[in-house]
Amino acid sequence: MATATIRSVFMGPRLRRLRRDLGLTQADMAADLDISAPYVALLERNQRPVTADMLLRLARTYKIDFADLAGDGGADHTARMQAVLKEPMFADIDIPPLEISDIAIGYPGLAEAFLRLYTAYREEQLALADRRSPGLTGAASRSGPGGLDANDPVAEVRRFLAARRNNFADIDDAAERILDGPADQAWLIERLRSRHNLRVRHLPPNVMLGSVRRLDRHRKEILFDDSLDTASFNFQLAQQLAYLEFEDEIGTALKAGQFTTKSGELLAHRSLASYAAAALIMPYSAFVKAAETRRYDMEALARQFGTSFEQTAHRITTLQRPGSEKV
C-alpha cells in the first residue's frame, strides 16, 4: 500500500497503547523515530495527526503490519455508533457526525465499550420481552413468543442473534481474507486437503446412521451422506471448514453473549459456524453487489452462487452491516 494513498489520521490512544505494550517511554519512542519527545506527546494527545510517513516509520521500526497499524481510521466504529445513535432513546440528543467520528478515531476503546454496553442492553430488552408475555402469570409468564421459556436455549440464541441484527462483520471479514471469490466445491475440498490433511468420502445414508457429516480424525476423513444435493453438500463442506478455521472469530463473538445455559452457547456456536459457511460460499461484499445488481431476485442469486433458495434467503437477512444496511 503506497503511503501516498493514506491520509493522516488521529490515533493517539492507539499510539500510546503501542508504546506501552513495547515498554517504551515517550523519549525512547522519540529516539527510535528520530522525532522529539514533545512531538510524541502531541501525537498521543491527538493534537497532531499521524502522517503517512510517520505510519511507515512506525511499521518499519517496530516490525508491525502496516495495515494493522493504520487500521480503518475508525470507520467501523463510526458506522456502528451512528447506527446505534439512530435509536429512539437518543432522538433528543443532537450529536453531530463529526463528534461521533472523533470519538471512534480518537478513543476506540471507549467506542467499543459503548457498543458492547448497547448490545448487552439489547439482549436484556429481548429477554425482558420474552418474560413479559401478555396475559400470562406465574410460570407461564416466563415464556416468550411461541411458548419458549426465557431461559430456553433456543430463545437464548434468538436473542443473541437479534441483538446483533444477525450480522457478524468479523466473521465476514475473516472469510474474505482467505478467498479470491466465492468458495466453490473444488476450492473447499482442496482447502480441507492442503490445509488440514483431510479427504472427503461419500457414504450411503444407512451407513451414516442419520448424520449428514462426520469428521473421522483417526482416518483423516470427512464423511458425507451421499444423498445430499450439491448445494447442501457444498454448505456442509464450508461448515466443516468453518469449525477448523474460524474458531477464534466464533469464540470472540460468543464471549460477548450472555448465555445462562451451556446448550444455548453450543447452539449459538453452531449458528455462527453456519454463518461462517455462508460467508465462504456467499462472501459479503460480492453477495451485496450481486443482490443489488439482481434486485434481490432469490432464484437468480441462488443460481449465481450455487446455493439453495433457503440458504440464499437466510444470507439476505444478514446484510445488516452497520452504516450499510441492505435489508
Domain 3-71: CATH superfamily is lambda repressor-like DNA-binding domains (1.10.260.40)
State the maximum Cα–Cα separation within the chain, in Å, rounded to a whole number.
74
Q: Residues with Cβ < 8 Å from 173, sequence gap 6 or more?
A: none
Whole-structure pTM value: 0.67
Position 144 confidence tier, pLDDT thresholds 50, 70, 90: very low
3-state secondary structure 110-123: HHHHHHHHHHHHHH
pLDDT tens string 81-133:
888 888 888 888 888 888 888 788 777 778 888 888 888 888 787 777 666 55
Nine-digit cell at 93? Answer: 440528543
Pick the more confident residue, 32 or 13.
Answer: 32
What is the identity of the amino acid at 104?
A
Residue ranges per domain, the chain? Answer: 3-71, 76-150, 169-317
Rg (CA), the chain: 24
Hey, what's the torsion of the CAs at 275, 277, 280, 282, to 10 degrees?
A: -60
- Output the pLDDT for position 100: 85
**Residue holding cell 461462517?**
276
**Rounded Cα gap, residues 248 and 13, in angstroms:** 25
